[in-house]
Amino acid sequence: MAPIRTAIIGLSSSAKTAWASAAHLPYLLSTRGREKYTIVALCNSSVDAAKQAITTYNLPAETKAYGDPQSLADDPDIDLVVCCTRVDVHHPTILPSVKAGKHVFVEWPLAQDVKHATELADASKASGSKTILGLQGRLSPPVVRVREILEQGRIGKVLSSELLAAGGTIDREILPPGLAYFADRAVGGNIYTIGFGHLFDQVQYILGDLVDPAARFQLQRPEVRIRNPETKEIVETKSSNVPDLILLTSGLPQSDIVQKNASFLYRFRRGQPFPGEPALVWKFNGEKGELRITSPDTALNARPSSDHVKIDVHDFETDTVERVEWGWEGWQDELPVMARGIGHVYDVFAAGKGGFATFDDALKRHKQLEGLLSSWST
């Protein structure tokens, strides 16, 4: 099969967060990736910016450079369009390609709000566009391993589950200039939608959609300092309207792995955990045992610390604790950690398999998150 002809929106030579270059490019340019995909075009804020990125990343000279999303969408020689821009730019930059019926891969969150996410999801249905959504944690080895353990019945049916996490940003009250928008809910990218949101999806991917969830929000530190990462100087102080503490309780749906009337508790706090403690502790209390997953980072598949995720199972009958091993596939070990989860999504899509999130999944999560937050005000 011929490689999937791929265009990237947002692979900038001067990007503030560089997610496209750090998480997408390594797989696409790997030997395995090149067998399945070929980068044929870039689209940035201008044609010159796209040309500069082509040079910066040593892409083939014949790679096309576009400066507007519509021109990219009109190119018949592009199969897949990957969008790695800031969240509030997702909608206008990817909509033309969706309407053109191209396959599209958009990072999470899909859009800045339910309204724009709905338009993208509806447009994909109308055009027949195949969609991929960057909730790659569903395919991360620790998440897959936990789901396998529960399906094997090693701890019996889940009676309750609790997830305590601290993260979302490196520091509890400081942001770099490139992430200053995390203090503005209107942009759509912040610790609630991203930090809390990624785990929120993984919980429901494993245990099922939450039943009657209720949340309490708090803004503990309304003033956010913006620090230049090079000079270490505070260059600005911004007022935030994004909650930095989220407390959620809900029921869990009865299933083959979950007992009737099981409960779920989730606390997410922005910033560093207590020194010496893991950033994430997720427990599953079962009939026959308890499963615990711990991680030095809340992103279970996208940081160098991901290799230090631990899974332990306590068997109640023997009163013993077993460390359950997990691992990346061999080809993933050859990629930077930040690219392994994204690479898996690309690999599965190219093989025509499922398991990755789509725009429909994204819209469901957007509605849940926006619904929970709708009654909160700073």
Per residue in 289-340, pLDDT (tens digit) is 999 999 999 977 666 666 789 999 999 999 999 999 999 999 999 999 999 9
Contact criterion met (CB below 8 Å) for 99 and 131: no
Question: Which of 53, 51, 93, 48 is CA-nearest to residue 73?
Answer: 93
Residue 221 is predicted with a pLDDT of: 96
Q: How confident is the model at residue 51 (pLDDT cuts 50, 70, 90)?
A: very high
Tokens for 170, please give them: 């490196």
Q: What is the DSSP letter of 195?
A: I
Residue 300 is predicted with a pLDDT of: 77
Give the Cα separation of 204 and 250 in Å (integer): 11
197's enclosing H/E stretch is helix 197-207
As a whole number, mean pLDDT of residues 229-255 equals 96
Give the Cα separation of 20 and 25 in Å (integer): 6
35: left (phi over 0), alpha (psi -120 to 50) or beta: alpha
Q: How confident is the model at residue 144 (pLDDT cuts 50, 70, 90)?
A: very high
Q: Is residue 247 classed exposed, middle or buried when 0-12, 13-18 and 19+ CB atoms within 10 A define those classes?
A: middle
Tokens for 82, please give them: 């990957």
Task: Quickly count: other Cβ atoms within 10 Å of residue 369's Cβ.
Answer: 21
Residue type at position 154: R
Q: Is residue 267 classed exposed, middle or buried when 0-12, 13-18 and 19+ CB atoms within 10 A define those classes?
A: middle
Q: How many CA atoms within 13 Å lie on the side-chain side of 188?
A: 20
Give the Cα separation of 341 and 136 in Å (integer): 6
How wide is the angle at C-alpha 322 spanned by C-alphas 321 and 328, nearest 5°? 145
Q: What is the DSSP letter of 357?
A: B
Give the Cα separation of 331 and 333 in Å (integer): 5
Q: How confident is the model at residue 87 (pLDDT cuts 50, 70, 90)?
A: very high
Give the Cα separation of 294 and 2 in Å (integer): 41
What SS3 state is found at 371?
helix
Residue 58 is predicted with a pLDDT of: 95
What SS3 state is found at 112?
coil
Q: What is the CATH number of domain 140-325?
A: 3.30.360.10
Question: Which of 259, 285, 257 is CA-nearest to residue 160?
Answer: 285
In the chain, CATH 3.30.360.10 sits at 140-325
Residue 18 is predicted with a pLDDT of: 82
What SS3 state is found at 336?
coil
Q: What is the third-level CATH fold of 4-135?
A: Rossmann fold (3.40.50)
Q: What is the DSSP letter of 23?
A: I
Residue 306 is predicted with a pLDDT of: 63
How wide is the angle at C-alpha 174 spanned by C-alphas 172 and 178, nearest 5°? 125
Tokens for 272, please give them: 């560093």
As a whole number, mean pLDDT of residues 141-158 equals 97
Please, what is the average pLDDT of the chain? 95
Residue 143 is predicted with a pLDDT of: 95
Residue 375 is predicted with a pLDDT of: 85
As a whole number, mean pLDDT of residues 196-200 equals 97
Residue 23 has pLDDT above 80, yes or no: yes
Strand 310-315 and strand 289-295: the pairing is antiparallel
- 73, 201, 344, 345 from 135: Cα distances, Å: 24, 8, 11, 9
What SS3 state is found at 259?
strand
Tokens for 68, please give them: 């507007």
Residue 305 is predicted with a pLDDT of: 61
Give the Cα separation of 114 and 238 in Å (integer): 26
Give the Cα separation of 295 and 282 in Å (integer): 9
Give the Cα separation of 211 and 204 in Å (integer): 10
In the chain, CATH 3.40.50.720 sits at 4-135
